[in-house]
Amino acid sequence: MEIIFSEKNATGIITLNRPKALNALNIEMAKEFSDKLQEWDLNDNIKRVLLVGEGNHFCAGGDVKSLFLTKDQNNHKKEFFKIEYKLNYLISQFKKEFLSIWNGVVMGGGVGLSIYGDHRLATDNTKFAMPETSIGFFPDVGGSYFLSNLPKNVGKYIGLTGKLLEVNDLMFLGLATNYFKFDNLQSLKENYVEKGIISEEKFEIDYNSEVIKNIDLINSLFKGDIFKIFDNLKNNQSDFAEKTFETLNKKCPMSLGISTKLINDAKGKSLKECLETEYQLSQNVVYRDDFDNGVNSVLVTKDHNPKWSPSKITEINIEEINKYFESRTEKLYL
């Protein structure tokens, strides 16, 4: 079974069980997850939920590889995102305590399964990222919602660059709610399952991390649309700006333009509104050649050398970006 449900001491335990695929979420897992969560929401014997990943990692994201491999079955692309985004919203509305253990890799769709719950525990080996601009897509699963709510344009920085965040930055930004030492993982699970207690461990934030020490610079560099951001980076003489500029030049240009508009427009919107926008956007972006090329290059052949079209930000204009935000299909009706 690719997802395992168990009940113990008033705790519903969900185990993502595809360790060889870093527990990537496929459509069948998402359906079962949704059904079980709705059942537990109504079950008075279940007081809380624990979400974990089998093996060394939490969840590397949604199974976008399957979308590429079934590219002729167009309905799969519609159904996959519909079920995944509805599950994200369902988790946000779940009335009982919801704890996720962010061990190892936590990316994309894995973030969407956990960030709307009450508690997210990070450890010293947690690797968090929203890496969608590397595959010709955009930070989804409500990414526009939680990234736009981070301070000082750091959400745009994370969403565009795919920056890998570790426990220090996750605690500083409030993306993780708690820290635990990896060695204490078993006792932490037992305390939560047996007593509903989350063991607190102290964490001292190191303000000298790359993200934290450059947060004001990030704020100024990532103001405006994608064209303004590129101008800001080119005109800034700092090593950080130069390094960030090099990083962005490897990402899908259209994804960068779309993602910037998405996050800018999400300010002040609800999660429901953001997911509705992302669903319509997904049904436009997922049929672009960039998506197939990106997924193939990064996840299938793994040559990490996709050919983007257009190949540069300067070859895009605002009207082209805007057209991807036009509605293509029926709403999610969350």
pTM, two decimals, is 0.96
User: Per the domain annotation, does 293 fall within a domain?
Assistant: yes
Q: What is the mean pLDDT of the chain?
A: 95
Q: Own/partner pairs for 95-98, CB < 8 Å, 24+ apart?
A: 95/41, 96/40, 96/41, 96/46, 96/47, 96/48, 96/49, 97/47, 97/48, 97/49, 97/196, 98/48, 98/49, 98/51
- 255-265 residue pLDDT tens: 999 999 999 99
Count of structural domains, the chain: 1
pLDDT > 80? residue 72: no
Catalytic center residues: 62, 109, 132, 140
Q: Which domain holds residue 282?
A: 1-328
Short-list 62, 157, 166, CA closest to 113: 62
State the pLDDT at residue 73: 58
State the pLDDT at residue 199: 81
- 271-319 residue pLDDT tens: 999 999 999 999 999 999 999 999 989 888 889 889 999 999 999 999 9
User: Per the domain annotation, does 134 fall within a domain?
Assistant: yes
SS3 (DSSP) at 324: coil
SS3 (DSSP) at 152: coil
- 32-65 residue pLDDT tens: 999 999 999 999 999 999 999 999 999 999 988 8
pLDDT > 90? residue 74: no
Q: Are 188 and 148 in contact (CB under 8 A)?
A: no
Pairing of strands 3-8, 11-16: antiparallel
The CATH number of residue 33's host domain is 3.90.226.10
State the pLDDT at residue 301: 87
Q: How confident is the model at residue 76 (pLDDT cuts 50, 70, 90)?
A: confident
Residue range 110-133: average pLDDT? 97
State the pLDDT at residue 165: 98
User: Per the domain annotation, does 334 fall within a domain?
Assistant: no
State the pLDDT at residue 13: 98
pLDDT > 80? residue 137: yes
Single-letter amino acid code for the residue at 318: I
Q: How confident is the model at residue 71 (pLDDT cuts 50, 70, 90)?
A: low
User: Per the domain annotation, does 304 fall within a domain?
Assistant: yes
State the pLDDT at residue 64: 86
State the pLDDT at residue 160: 98
- Between these two residues, 67 and 195, which has the higher pLDDT value? 195
User: Per the domain annotation, does 163 fall within a domain?
Assistant: yes
